[in-house]
Amino acid sequence: MLDLANSHRSIRSYTSQNIDDSLLNDLLTAGLRSSSSGNMQTWSVVVTRDPDRKRQLYEAHRKQGMILEAPVVLTFCADVFRMREWIRINESKQSFDDLLGFLTGAVDAVVAAQTICLAAESVGLGICYMGTTWWAADQLIELLELPKGVFPVTSVVMGYPAEDPPLRDRLPLELLVHRETYKQLTDEEIRRLHAEREEKAWARYNSFESLRQRLAEAGIIRVTDFYTSKFKYSKELHREVSEMLIKTLRAQGLWL
Ligand SMILES: Cc1cc2nc3c(=O)[nH]c(=O)nc-3n(C[C@H](O)[C@H](O)[C@H](O)COP(=O)(O)O)c2cc1C
C-alpha cells in the first residue's frame, strides 16, 4: 500500500483498451467500502462510457483531450437527493437541503473517489482527476441530468496508461504537516522550502515549447506569476466560477 501510494502519477494519455465491466464493478465496490459521514454514503458517481456523451463532457471540461482517450469517465457527486427521497417515503422529518448537507456529501464523494483511484492504480490502470468539474458544474448538472440535491464534486478519467511519466515534485513534508498547532513560517523559511518547487515546476512548464512562448510573451517570469495568471487560476476566473457555484448550489437546493 505504501509503495502504491508513493508511486502515484496522474495519467493523461490512454490506450484504446477498454475496462471491462466486472473490473469496473470491483473498483466501484471497493469505493462503497469507504468511510462516510454517519455511514449515510451521501455520494454517487455517474459512469460515462458512451463516446457521444464523452464528447459533451470533453467540451464541458475545457477540451481536456484525455476524456476522449480514456474509456471511462467518473463524475463523483455529493448526493443528498437519495437520502432525502428515503426520508420522504418514510414520512420522516426532512434535512440535508443546505450547505452542510452539500459539504457532508462532498467529503464522502472525495473519500470514495480516492479509494476507487487507488484500487484502479493497484490493478495497473491510470487515473487523472479533473478540477474543471467545479468550473463546469452547471453544465454537468444538465448533461448528466442530476436532480436537485446532487452536485458534481470531482471527476476522474480512467484507463490503461499509454505513457509512463516521471514522479512529479512535491512540497517538503514540513510545509504541510504541523505538530500539535499550526506553525506560521518566516519569509526566509517559505523561500527555502519552496525553492525546489519553484525550480522544478518552472522547468517543467517551460519544457512545453508552446507554453514557454506564451509565458514569455505575457512577461511571466516565475511559477507563482503563472499560477495566478490568465493561463491558470486567475482572480477573475475564481470570482466568475465562485459566483456560478453559489448560484448553482442555490438552484440545486444546497446553499442554506
Ligand atoms: C482535485 C484535482 C483536480 C485536478 N484537475 C486536473 C485537471 O483538470 N487536469 C489535469 O490534467 N490534471 C488535473 N489534476 C491532476 C494534478 O494536476 C496532479 O495531481 C498534480 O499535478 C500532481 O501530479 P501527479 O498526480 O502526477 O503526481 C487534478 C488533481 C486533483 C486532485
153-197 tens-digit pLDDT: 999 999 999 999 999 999 999 999 999 999 999 999 999 999 999
186-228 tens-digit pLDDT: 999 999 999 999 999 999 999 999 999 999 999 999 999 999 9
Residues 219 and 198 in one domain: yes
The conformation of residue 37, written as its DSSP 8-state character, comes to: G
Please tell me the distance between residue 132's alpha carbon and the centre of ligand 1 in angstroms.
10
10-68 tens-digit pLDDT: 999 999 999 999 999 999 999 999 999 999 999 999 999 999 999 999 999 999 999 99
Q: How confident is the model at residue 234 (pLDDT cuts 50, 70, 90)?
A: very high
Protein residue closest via CA to atom 3 of ligand 1: 131
Final residue belonging to a domain, choices 137, 165, 193: 165
Please tell me the distance between residue 25's alpha carbon and the centre of ligand 1 in angstroms.
24
Residues 17 and 34 in one domain: yes
Residues 156 and 220 in one domain: no
Q: What pLDDT does 114 receive?
A: 98
The whole domain housing 179 covers 173-234
Residues 146 and 230 in one domain: no
- For ligand 1, residues with CB inside 6 Å are 8-10, 12, 64, 128-132, 154, 168
| Helix residue ranges per DSSP H, the chain | 2-6, 21-32, 51-60, 66-69, 81-89, 99-122, 132-135, 137-143, 173-176, 187-206, 209-217, 223-227, 235-251
Residues 20 and 101 in one domain: yes
Residues 136 and 158 in one domain: yes
Query: Using CA atoms, how far apart are residues 121 and 158, in angstroms rounded to an integer?
Result: 9
Within a domain: 122: yes
Within a domain: 249: no
Final residue belonging to a domain, choices 165, 192, 209: 165
Protein residue closest via CA to atom 30 of ligand 1: 129
Within a domain: 241: no
> 219 is written with which cell numbers?
512577461
Query: Using CA atoms, how far apart are residues 81 and 195, in angstroms rounded to an integer?
Result: 46
Residues 152 and 186 in one domain: no
Query: Using CA atoms, how far apart are residues 15 and 235, in angstroms rounded to an integer?
Result: 37
118-140 tens-digit pLDDT: 999 999 999 999 999 999 999 99
Please tell me the distance between residue 90's alpha carbon and the centre of ligand 1 in angstroms.
41
Please tell me the distance between residue 168's alpha carbon and the centre of ligand 1 in angstroms.
11
Q: What pLDDT does 48 receive?
A: 98
Residues 186 and 159 in one domain: no
Please tell me the distance between residue 89's alpha carbon and the centre of ligand 1 in angstroms.
40
Report the number of distinct structural domains present in the chain.
2
Protein residue closest via CA to atom 9 of ligand 1: 130
Q: What radius of gyration do the chain's Cα atoms show?
A: 20
Residues 193 and 111 in one domain: no
Mean pLDDT of the region 85-109: 98
Protein residue closest via CA to atom 6 of ligand 1: 130
Q: Tell me the average pLDDT of the chain.
A: 97
